[in-house]
Amino acid sequence: MITILRELVQGMLSFFERVGLFVRFSLRLLAILPSGLLRVRPIVEQVYNTGALSLVIIMTCGLFVGMVLGLQGYDLLNQFGSEEYLGTATAISLLRELGPVVTALLFAGRAGTALAAELGLMRATDQIAAMEIMAVDPMRRVVLPRFLGGVIAMPLLVSIFIVVALFGAQLVGVQFFGVDAGSYWSQMRGAVELDDVRQGLTKGFVFGVACSLIAVYEGYNAAPTAEGVGRATTRTVVTSAVVTLILDYIITASML
């Protein structure tokens, strides 16, 4: 009984410690942010790594999410004889929720794990220690460009996801089920406000910051072993997913 209690306390303490370390890490990153923005070259490389390389998976998933929305939406709306609202339903659910959230989950799985594994491996193979010996700040040199690349790439990925999904839903609704193409787009245009787009992009940006930060934190602070790298990548995905969904509720509650 005592041992269980002790372990519980021990676990809570280590959780608080991790949160504290995470906050310190974030503040450190924030402090060197202005100097990092000037070094464009490494940021472009990281936008390529996190953004351009995620493009195929984002577009494929977007297409199928859109097609499912078209299928489900048509099936439901058809019962009320109002299939022409398919465009509205698809666009609003994509802009407000599905676009940013699904993209963030895919981003954590595709780009976040790559970042964490790369940084973890650098830690395990003493590359980070070597930089410190050479008086090169690894935070500035390695961590910051990766973080910024993710932050820049996320909103763009969200937008691409949403637009591809809209065409996916159009494919199912208009081409397969014969919803009128004109009413699909015009009903959508009539109901979607600029605020919906703003909400989607805000979420994309916030999720981008959160997921990139978690990925670089977990990778940078990974235990310098093969097991540690593996654990860091797992943690990246799990923490990113949980944090994304929690943040999603908070942002939605504050913006509605």
Partner 1 sequence: MRSTRTIDISTGLFVILGFAAILFMVTQITNREFSLRSDSYRLLASFENVGGLKPGAPVSMAGVAIGRVEDIQYDMNLLKAVVTLRIDGSYNAIPNDSDASILTAGLLGGQYIGLSPGGSDQPYKDGDAVVFVQDAVVLENLISKYLFNSAATKTDEATTPAPTAAQE
| Span interacting with partner 1, options 41-49, 115-123, 128-136, 215-223, rule CB under 8 A | 41-49
* Residue 98 structure tokens: 């599905």
* Residues touching partner 1, count (CB under 8 A): 30
Check binding of 9 to partner 1 (CB under 8 A).
no
The residue range among 16-24, 122-130, 181-189, 217-225 that interacts with partner 1, by the rule CB under 8 A, is: 181-189
Contact 206, 106 (CB under 8 A): no
- 204-207 long-range contacts (CB < 8 A, ≥24 apart) are 204/99, 204/100, 204/103, 204/104, 204/154, 204/155, 204/157, 204/158, 204/159, 205/151, 205/154, 205/155, 206/247, 206/251, 207/100, 207/101, 207/103, 207/104, 207/107, 207/154, 207/158, 207/244, 207/247, 207/248
**Binding string to partner 1 for residues 109 to 148, with x set by CB under 8 A, is what?**
----------------------------------------
Phi then psi dihedrals of residue 117, to 5 deg: -65, -40
- Single residue of 29, 36, 51, 109 touching partner 1 by CB under 8 A: 51
Residues 112, 155, 168, 173: which binds partner 1 (CB under 8 A)? 155
Per-residue binding letters, 184-223, with partner 1 (x by CB under 8 A): -x--xxxxxxx-xx--xx----------------------
Given the complex with partner 1, which of 108 and 152 has the nearer CB atom?
152
Q: Helix-strand-coil percent breakdown of the chain, rounded to 5? A: 90, 0, 10
Half-sphere exposure of 255 (CA within 13 A, CB side): 17
Q: Which stretch binds partner 1 (CB under 8 A): 136-144, 159-167, 175-183, 243-251?
A: 159-167
Element housing 149 (H / E): helix 144-170
Instruction: Choose which of 44, 226, 242, 245 interacts with partner 1 (CB under 8 A).
Output: 44
Residue 11 in tokens: 């676990």
The yes or no reply on residue 162 touching partner 1 (CB under 8 A) is yes
Interaction of residue 153 with partner 1, rule CB under 8 A: yes
Binding site for partner 1 (CB under 8 A): 44-45, 47-48, 51-52, 55, 91, 95, 153, 155-157, 159-160, 162-163, 166, 185, 188-194, 196-197, 200-201
